[in-house]
Amino acid sequence: MPLKVAIVQQACSQQHQESLKHSIQGIREAAGQGAKLILLPELHTGPYFCQTENSQCFDLAEPIPGPSTEVFGTLAAELGVVLVISLFERRAPGIYHNTAVVLETDGHIAGRYRKMHIPDDPNFYEKFYFTPGDLGFTPIETSVGHLGILICWDQWYPEAARLMALAGAELLLYPSAIGWDPRDDEVEKSRQQEAWITVQRGHAIANGLPLLASNRISIEPDPSQQTAGIQFWGTSFIAGPQGELLAIGPMDEAVVLVAEIDLQRTEAIRRIWPYLRDRRIDAYENLTQRYID
């Protein structure tokens, strides 16, 4: 039976309640269109605060369970959907994670994934805030399937997608917060955006799995005013197990993307493109090295 899935693409405000409202509205719209699995963008209940290093931003973190899992858990139970939300997790004093939480149709926490690859680049100073994940690449079992959840910077690493697939993931999901420097020229912007879409479609193809990639929209200013901020480029998409685009969002509009996927297609695709069968696991030992000198 086909599974109807959805992505909420939204702007995120400095005001927590406004961002929360956008998320809830999008979830309700997706559920109204019959979606049973709904993915939100990375850190969707507030601004992308990692443009600067500011210790006061740690006050934005929350425990799990906590306020966000309570709100969205109640909503998941009301609507009978599986939600994948994203939040700034306060694990302990001085230990914080960038975490995705899966909420089941009855509202309980089915599992969580802590972002493994942490960037440290201009406007994306995440190493200051986030402790690298320690839960590994483990799919989360839900009523709609085994979800291989990875977060933003993880999406550039084929190893992460492969390990999720090898552990039994039936879908790959990537909550993201990615955008341009508004000062970049149009050619550079296009290269970056196309790379983002292409690499993730490649993960779908290489593993024979459907894939959902969410992103936020709008320009978020740099609090330090040292840069032009980040213009998040939207373009959230849903792809099938051959990388085919089933739905794709605009660059600059809030939208709910809905598509039907057939989890049984993975079996059929892997029979004709048996990448996992033909892997030379006897010859891959050097993958555990940083670089082969």
Structure token pair of residue 238: 């849903």
Chain center to CA of 99? 10
Residue type at position 115: K
* Distance, CA of 226 to CA of 232 (rounded, Å): 18
Mean pLDDT of 21-29: 98
* Distance, CA of 215 to CA of 126 (rounded, Å): 17
* Distance, CA of 126 to CA of 233 (rounded, Å): 19
**Short-list 140, 145, 117, 122, CA closest to 42:** 117
Q: Calculate helix-pair angle for 67-79, 16-32, nearest 10 degrees.
A: 20
Tens of pLDDT, residue by residue over 136-183, are 999 999 999 999 999 999 999 999 999 999 999 999 999 999 999 999
pLDDT at 275: 97
**How confident is residue 112, by pLDDT bands cut at 50, 70 and 90?**
very high
pTM metric for this prediction: 0.98
Domains and CATH numbers, the chain: 3-288 (3.60.110.10)
Residues with active-site annotation: 42, 115, 152
Residue type at position 121: D
pLDDT at 206: 98
Structure token pair of residue 173: 């999901």
